[in-house]
Structure 1
């Protein structure tokens, strides 16, 4: 069916005198990758939290087109419906992988848990699928029974990706997924993300302060400052010919680095 997968209208959130999100709106279509960029404190992560329902909005709405084609206002979903959505049709790859993984559970168990959440109960199938996904994110099969507490930062992020994608979600939220990783580890992780997004036709909202990440992964870009959208458009167009003075400064700071 045609039409947006996700429709965000007028999202607003205030913390005291500070506007963390001020009337943000956009549409996201199936298979489209949207990068949300800006400096620290620009409202990027607040926007992601509002979309995910982890932060209560002061105003605005988030509408999602369910698999039956019906667009639902996420604020109207009951707790059980929202939990089901987040463990099946949505994924959330967090900046801190320890928040997105069960650190005391094995790597295979982390992937298998999400499969069990959608009703899979056959141990052999769960383990085989977990092994397949570990291979897809370049984690060796002999690490399947190790907990992520023994993994490096890059491996934890790759495991978090496998955990989120195993149920074939249609929308994945990513909050600075490469932040804090070594450059070589970042490059490997970005290759993994780009390949899987293209292969699976995922719709993605990725929050990043790194314009190179935005250029590599996204079709469209949304530039935020002080909780507001300053500029939006096709990624290459915005980064090659920025119109807003703030976006020009962001691009210039990267070129000067």
Structure 2
């Protein structure tokens, strides 16, 4: 495992006209590390995630990534084809609404198989066998392999989206409120599943969440955002058990009062 960061962001800024999405944010993430970005709605956390994942152009700043060949590249220098290939293979992106990350009109197996085909697998039997294996890993019965996601519950759709993302063994996964909108019992199951997969696969992940319990369960480090800026950063347990910034103290206190 390299000591060099997998991804480094330097002074990331994104403006929407006169509105600040995020301002002067710097961070890095190493292999096998999970970073949580937390804050209230409108804090800039999703804007930052989309800038890091190259889904949104930055106003200023730089995001660089260490490729599988060991070369660290400024992501702004990639061609569109290189960027698409990176997103389909080495990266994953889990949306809050699974319908945004799935093809709803094709089968569960085809959703997983598409990612495999993106890395060159063309053997139908092997693709179907791998899809069946991944459905099992995310606790979806294999007999549902030919069902479309439209026939799935919200929790099953989210688990299918996770399988679709992880089947190519990405090194970095971006997650935008992965448990948002799910019932509490479904959230708990999904979190247990995510934690197990992250540990088993040695994934790096950047997770946006407003739920501090999710951050504590899944992340090693966290950054706290307010009005587009980072107000506190550190090891997750330290930040939650001994918050230094008044805003972080307020967030933690509001959870304790619930």
TM-score range, shorter chain: over 0.9
Report what 1:106 is aligned to.
107
2:94 aligned partner: 93
CA distance in 1, matches of 2:38, 2:52: 16
Aligned Cα RMSD in Å?
0.5
- TM-superposed CA distance for 1:109, in Å, is 0.3
Give the equivalent residue in structure 2 for 1:36. Answer: 37
CA deviation map 1:94-140 (0-9, x unaligned): 00111100000100000000000100000000000000000000000
Q: Within 5 Å, give how 1:1-257 maps onto structure 2.
A: 1-257=2-258
Cα-to-partner distance string for 1:175-194 (whole Å, 9 max, x where unaligned): 00000100000000001100
How big is each residue's C-alpha offset from its partner over 1:206-248, in whole Å with a ceiling of 9 and x where there is no partner?
A: 0000000000000001000000000000000000000000000
* CA–CA separation in structure 2 for the residues paired with 1:83 and 1:18: 29
For 1:245 and 1:24, how far apart are their aligned partners in 2? 19
Give, in whole Å, the separation in 2 of the partners of 1:58 and 1:113: 33
Secondary structure of residue in 2 paired with 1:177: coil
Q: What secondary structure does 2:133 align onto?
A: helix
Deviation at 1:26, TM superposition (A): 0.5
Deviation at 1:77, TM superposition (A): 0.3
- The alignment of Structure 1 onto Structure 2 pairs a total of residues equal to 257
Q: Shift of residue 54 of structure 1?
A: 1.3
How far does residue 2 in structure 1 lie from its aligned partner after superposition? Answer: 2.3
CA distance in 2: counterparts of 1:4 and 1:75, whole angstroms: 18
Alpha-carbon separation, structure 2, partners of 1:15 and 1:245 = 27
Q: Residue deviations 1:138-185, cap 9 Å, x none?
A: 000110000001100000000000000000000000000000100000
Question: Normalising by structure 2, what TM-score?
Answer: 0.99
Report the CA distance between 1:15 and its aligned residue: 1.4
- Hey, what's the Cα distance between the residues in 1 that align with 2:241 and 2:129? 45
- In structure 1, the residue corresponding to 2:165 is in which secondary structure? helix
